[in-house]
């Protein structure tokens, strides 16, 4: 019997499940301060999302430091400790390979702020509050 491949373009259930497991594990490790780097431990970092490649060998971790400050410093500290973080993740998982971790800033928070600001602008509010006069 031939294997069926999802051609929908979205992540598979396995990718989503592994990504969420990595996200929770990294969040716990960073919260507990298990990494032996004082620069990393003094930053409070939120792990917003983890996306894995289809073969589960690469995991892109989207992070945001508390308050949005020190973004570059956080990415550098995480990249510097990538090996130790990868080992911590591999202890919790039962995969054939521990995924290579790549860190990026989570832009979701900035987009939400922009959307809130857009909906709060006078022009948009005026357009949303105007009654529809096309019922003639």
pTM for the whole structure: 0.73
Pairing, β 58-65 against β 100-105: parallel
Task: Compute how many other C-beta atoms are within 10 angstroms of the C-beta atom of residue 31.
Answer: 11
- What pLDDT digit, counting tens, does each position of 39-48 carry? 888 889 999 9
Rounded to the nearest integer, the mean pLDDT of the chain is 83
Nearest-angstrom CA–CA distance, 136 and 131 = 13
Handedness of CA 28, 33, 38, 42 (dihedral sign): positive
Query: For residues 70 and 43, is the Cβ–Cβ distance under 8 A?
Result: yes
- What pLDDT digit, counting tens, does each position of 17-68 carry? 999 999 999 999 999 988 889 988 888 999 999 999 999 999 999 999 987 7
What CATH class does 13-129 carry? alpha beta
Minimum mean pLDDT range among 58-62, 102-106, 117-121: 117-121
Task: Compute how many other C-beta atoms are within 10 angstroms of the C-beta atom of residue 123.
Answer: 8
Domain boundaries, the chain: 13-129
Three-state SS annotation for the chain: CCCCCCCCCCCCHHHHHHHHHHHHHHHHHHHHCCCCCHHHHCCCEEEEEEEECCCCCEEEEEEEEHHHCCHHHHHHHHHHCHHHHHHHHHHHCCCCCCCEEEEEECCHHHHHHHHHHHHHCHHHHHHHHCCCCCCC
């Amino acid at each position: 019997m031939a294997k069926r491949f999802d051609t929908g373009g979205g992540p598979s259930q396995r990718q989503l499940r592994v990504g969420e497991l990595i996200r929770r594990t990294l969040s716990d490790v960073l919260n507990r301060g298990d990494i032996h780097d004082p620069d990393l431990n003094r930053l409070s970092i939120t792990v917003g999302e983890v996306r894995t490649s289809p073969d589960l060998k690469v995991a892109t971790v989207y992070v945001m430091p508390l308050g949005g400050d020190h973004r570059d410093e956080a990415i550098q500290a995480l990249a510097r400790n990538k090996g130790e973080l990868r080992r911590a993740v591999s202890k919790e998982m039962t995969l054939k390979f521990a995924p290579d971790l790549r860190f990026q800033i989570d832009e979701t928070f900035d987009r939400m702020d922009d959307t809130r600001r857009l909906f709060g602008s006078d022009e948009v509010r005026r357009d949303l509050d105007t009654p529809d006069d096309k019922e003639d």
